[in-house]
Amino acid sequence: MPNSLDTLLEAADSALRTIWGNPAARLDSPAKSAPGAESALSAADRSRSGALMRVNHVGEVCAQGLYNAQALTTSDPALRSQMLRAAEEETDHLRWTRDRLDSLGARPSLLNPLWYGGAFTLGLLAGRMGDAWSLGFVRETERQVEAHLDGHLDRLPPADVASRAVVERMKADEAAHAAWAQEAGARPLPPGVSTLMRMAARVMTTVAYRI
């Protein structure tokens, strides 16, 4: 496991930028394909979309914590590089969801430091179990996130085409991350662990929808 000062500083910098910054995206937001879409939304639609996109933004905050922690714990340089690359890809989602919050007049979750810290801790625990288990955690997490985003496509107002475009792209990217983890040697998690992950995610989404 890398333990150099540079590595630890990189992790700390990522945490600060994720929680209190607004990292730049590498790719343009899919929402740009729907300019001026906000004018078609009622106040109720804006409120609902804002709450749902706050939940999605929290999910991306958690993704940063998970991937950066798992990158710290692996002793395989190639796997560490891939974890960090996945975190960079998730940074696009982080910025896209934050931009949607701003456009909708909504705020990020007030509990983002807590969400990041919890995800980082889980990432460390998964990573210390070994690379196969760590990859299994990635695969299961991404599969659950993909299902969660699919549910949000049903709940977002039909008129909010900008948020829907972002969620659809995120869903495709999460599926790709799950496939990568599978190909890299992910070990299937015990059913009880998967169930606990779903329960924890349900608590997070319920709280983040409001706070």
Query: 117 CB contacts (<8 Å, ≥6 apart)?
Result: 65
CA atoms within 13 A on the CB side of 154: 4
Whether 45 is covered by a domain: the verdict is yes
Domain range for 78 is 5-16+41-210
Contact present, 83 and 67 (Cβ < 8 Å): yes
Whether 31 is covered by a domain: the verdict is no
Whether 50 is covered by a domain: the verdict is yes
Q: Is the dihedral of CA 20, 2, 92, 94 positive or negative?
A: negative
Whether 75 is covered by a domain: the verdict is yes
Q: Quote the tokens at residue 121.
A: 């801790």
Single out the residue of 86, 56, 83, 71 nearest to residue 153, CA to CA: 56
| Buried residues in 40-69 as b, exposed as e (16+ CB within 10 A) | ebeeebbebbbbbbbbbbbbbbbbbbbbbb
Domains: count for the chain: 1
Whether 60 is covered by a domain: the verdict is yes
Whether 88 is covered by a domain: the verdict is yes
Whether 129 is covered by a domain: the verdict is yes
Single out the residue of 24, 25, 97 nearest to residue 55, CA to CA: 97
| Full-model pTM | 0.85
Whether 33 is covered by a domain: the verdict is no
pLDDT (tens place) for every residue of the chain, 211 residues total: 445 555 555 666 666 566 666 777 787 888 887 765 666 788 899 899 999 999 999 988 988 888 888 888 888 888 888 888 888 888 899 899 999 999 999 999 988 888 888 888 888 888 888 888 889 888 888 888 888 899 899 999 988 999 999 999 999 988 888 898 888 888 888 888 888 888 888 888 889 888 8
Q: What is the CATH number of the domain that holds 117?
A: 1.20.1260.10
